């Protein structure tokens, strides 16, 4: 809409005319120069031949009054083998609308395995007024028969509220004296992202609690705009934008980025079960946007020596409160059947279950939320570990890695299977864990053998690296815990049998 205002000839009183002019300005389409990608662009769910691309059109290059306002427009992704983008592939033009939070997503098929690609976003008010984003890059996964090294990072429990404001005095088990982060680099985002980026992982898994809808508690997010704001305020931080521009991602959700702490599908409160699921699928590249029925549990083969399974822990679970029984489930019958079937069919040297919540622990005895808790879903967890053993899945070549717990540990179940957790990414959300033998733990009889647990509490992440076997060398897997300053806290390596 174009409005020409001639003050001397206008019959409308001046103030009314000025208001009309301002309204017309607000309604006019934004020019390409007025459209930004404040949250950058990212690539998710990469396989050997596919990837999901995502960005969000914004009206400002930075947050405004605590949020990052979106804006209508169009965009498409360009993907090329070279940095000059010669012979680039292009997705169709996509429209950014308020109903989709101004997010653009597209899955691209037909990529080459084990190949580095460059990508960028072409965006603007319409297809005739566009500009190009800063390029990013990623590498596709190797094929199932390729003997290729793989290294990746696992992180979880990204609490923006605690980072900016500090944990409240009522926060259970948080170390006393823990305050908000006060460093001069505070606006850049979590310091742990600096050493994480320097490791140059092949990909990064954000394993649940990607945001915290229920923190701060007094102003917890309940409506769709409030939920979306949680994603905007956190992933606009420059260190995330930098990470996502060069490292592809895989995402899982847990309780805090679904509804509230330890939530299940029941309960008459906001956000609803349905809104929690829909917002997660909207905000991150986890399922093909062209397939609204796609499930969020999946498995990816990453060369001859590694396969990962990503499980969904909220969509299908039974209510938490009833006493544990054989029918009580986190995974649901269909997902559990898929998990067992695909594990049995896999010939990967190392198999890793990526779970938002633990199966071995120990954890706090008071909880009823996960597979470790006696009043929760322990029977399903124990039955799964027994199934692994009964079906000849070798311990030492099958591992569980998880998020949710705010301390890093490495534990071994009586069955021989091992679990490592990444802890909380930011120090302000960390705590000390429960040890085997602690009467307030889920293992008061010390049946779990624990090789490592944080001491003192710290933020950080877990790095996993797989080296392929050769003629005279067996494949090897290595797990390394880092704190939020990039210091190595613990390392465990295992060769294939």
Rounded Cα distance, 449 and 9, in Å: 86
Which tokens in the block code for residue 458? 């710290």
pLDDT reported for residue 472: 66
Whether the per-residue pLDDT at 422 is higher than 70: the answer is yes
Tell me which residue of 262, 256, 253 sits closest to 376, measured CA to CA.
262
Whether the per-residue pLDDT at 172 is higher than 80: the answer is no
Mean pLDDT across the chain, nearest whole number? 93
Instruction: Please give the average per-residue pLDDT across 98-104, as a whole number.
Output: 98
Q: Using a CB cutoff of 8 Å and minimum separation of 24, what contacts does 370-375 make?
A: 370/330, 370/404, 371/330, 372/442, 373/442, 374/324, 374/442, 375/323, 375/324
Rounded Cα distance, 277 and 466, in Å: 33
18-32, 256-270, 402-416, 458-472, range with the lowest pLDDT? 18-32
Judged by DSSP in three states, 373 sits in: coil
Which tokens in the block code for residue 202? 């092949």
Rounded Cα distance, 81 and 89, in Å: 9
**DSSP at 67:** B
Higher pLDDT, 204 or 15: 204
Instruction: Please give the average per-residue pLDDT across 240-244, as a whole number.
Output: 98
pLDDT reported for residue 222: 98
| Residues 241/189, Cβ–Cβ less than 8 Å | no
Instruction: Please give the average per-residue pLDDT across 310-333, as a whole number.
Output: 98
pLDDT reported for residue 280: 98
Whether the per-residue pLDDT at 22 is higher than 50: the answer is no
Confidence band (pLDDT; 50, 70, 90) for 28?
low
Confidence band (pLDDT; 50, 70, 90) for 164?
very high
Whether the per-residue pLDDT at 98 is higher than 50: the answer is yes
Confidence band (pLDDT; 50, 70, 90) for 170?
confident
Confidence band (pLDDT; 50, 70, 90) for 497?
confident
Which tokens in the block code for residue 187? 């606006």
Whether the per-residue pLDDT at 3 is higher than 50: the answer is no
- Map tokens 């120990």 to a residue: 362
Whether the per-residue pLDDT at 26 is higher than 50: the answer is no
Question: pTM for the whole thing?
Answer: 0.93
Confidence band (pLDDT; 50, 70, 90) for 430?
very high
Instruction: Please give the average per-residue pLDDT across 102-123, as a whole number.
Output: 98
Confidence band (pLDDT; 50, 70, 90) for 186?
very high
Confidence band (pLDDT; 50, 70, 90) for 237?
very high
Instruction: Please give the average per-residue pLDDT across 211-237, as a whole number.
Output: 97
Instruction: Please give the average per-residue pLDDT across 476-484, as a whole number.
Output: 98
Whether the per-residue pLDDT at 24 is higher than 60: the answer is no
Rounded Cα distance, 99 and 282, in Å: 10
H or E stretch at 206: strand 203-207
Tens digit of each residue's pLDDT (9 = 90 or more) over 346-365:
999 999 999 999 999 999 99
46-60, 163-177, 451-465, 469-483, range with the lowest pLDDT? 163-177
Tens digit of each residue's pLDDT (9 = 90 or more) over 61-97:
999 999 999 999 999 999 999 999 999 999 999 999 9
Percent of the chain with pLDDT over 90: 90
Whether the per-residue pLDDT at 14 is higher than 60: the answer is no
Whether the per-residue pLDDT at 15 is higher than 50: the answer is no
Whether the per-residue pLDDT at 409 is higher than 80: the answer is yes
Judged by DSSP in three states, 121 sits in: strand
Instruction: Please give the average per-residue pLDDT across 296-315, as a whole number.
Output: 98
Instruction: Please give the average per-residue pLDDT across 433-437, as a whole number.
Output: 97
pLDDT reported for residue 19: 37
Confidence band (pLDDT; 50, 70, 90) for 46?
very high
Rounded Cα distance, 77 and 79, in Å: 7
pLDDT reported for residue 335: 98
Residue 466, beta-bridge partner list: 150, 477
Percent of the chain with pLDDT over 70: 93
Rounded Cα distance, 131 and 72, in Å: 15
């Amino acid at each position: 809409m174009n409005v020409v205002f001639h003050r001397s000839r206008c019959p409308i009183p001046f103030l009314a005319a000025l208001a009309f002019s301002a309204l017309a300005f607000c309604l006019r389409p934004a020019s390409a120069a007025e459209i930004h990608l404040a949250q950058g662009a990212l690539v998710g769910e990469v396989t050997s031949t596919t990837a999901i691309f995502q960005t969000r059109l914004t009206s400002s290059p930075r947050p405004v009054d605590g949020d990052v306002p979106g804006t209508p427009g169009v965009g498409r992704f360009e993907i090329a083998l070279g940095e000059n983008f010669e012979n680039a592939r292009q997705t169709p033009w996509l429209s950014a609308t308020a109903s989709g939070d101004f997010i653009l997503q597209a899955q691209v098929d037909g990529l080459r395995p084990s190949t580095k690609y460059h990508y960028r976003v072409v965006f603007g008010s319409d297809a005739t007024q566009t500009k190009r984003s800063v390029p990013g890059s990623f590498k596709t996964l190797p094929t199932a028969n390729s003997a290729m090294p793989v290294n990746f990072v696992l992180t979880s429990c990204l609490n923006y509220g605690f980072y900016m404001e500090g944990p409240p005095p009522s926060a259970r088990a948080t170390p006393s004296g823990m305050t908000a982060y006060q460093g001069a680099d505070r606006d850049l985002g979590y310091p742990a992202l600096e050493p994480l980026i320097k490791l140059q992982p092949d990909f990064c898994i954000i394993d649940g609690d990607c945001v915290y809808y229920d923190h701060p508690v007094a102003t917890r997010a309940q409506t769709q705009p409030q939920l979306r704001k949680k994603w905007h305020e956190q992933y606009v931080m420059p260190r995330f934008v930098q990470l996502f521009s060069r490292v592809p991602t895989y995402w899982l959700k847990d309780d805090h980025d679904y509804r509230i702490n330890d939530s299940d599908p029941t309960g008459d409160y906001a956000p609803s079960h349905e809104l929690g699921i829909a917002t997660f699928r909207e905000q991150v590249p986890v399922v093909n946007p062209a397939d609204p029925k796609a499930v969020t549990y999946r498995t990816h083969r990453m060369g001859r020596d590694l396969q990962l399974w990503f499980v969904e822990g909220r969509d299908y679970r039974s209510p938490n409160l009833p006493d544990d029984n054989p029918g009580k489930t986190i995974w649901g019958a269909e997902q559990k059947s898929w998990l067992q079937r695909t594990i049995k069919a896999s010939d990967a040297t190392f198999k890793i279950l990526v779970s938002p919540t633990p199966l071995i622990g120990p954890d706090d005895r008071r909880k009823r939320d996960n597979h470790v808790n006696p009043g929760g879903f322990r029977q399903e967890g124990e039955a799964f570990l027994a199934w692994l053993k009964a079906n000849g899945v070798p311990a030492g070549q099958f591992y569980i890695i998880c998020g949710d717990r705010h301390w890093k540990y490495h534990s071994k179940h009586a069955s021989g299977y091992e679990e490592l957790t990444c802890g909380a990414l930011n120090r302000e959300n960390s705590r000390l864990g429960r040890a085997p033998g602690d009467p307030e733990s889920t293992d008061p009889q010390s049946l779990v053998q624990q090789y490592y647990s944080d001491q003192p509490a710290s933020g950080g992440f877990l790095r996993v690296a797989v080296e392929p076997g050769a003629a005279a060398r067996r494949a090897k897997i290595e797990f390394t815990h880092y704190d939020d300053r990039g210091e190595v806290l613990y390392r465990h390596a295992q060769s294939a049998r």
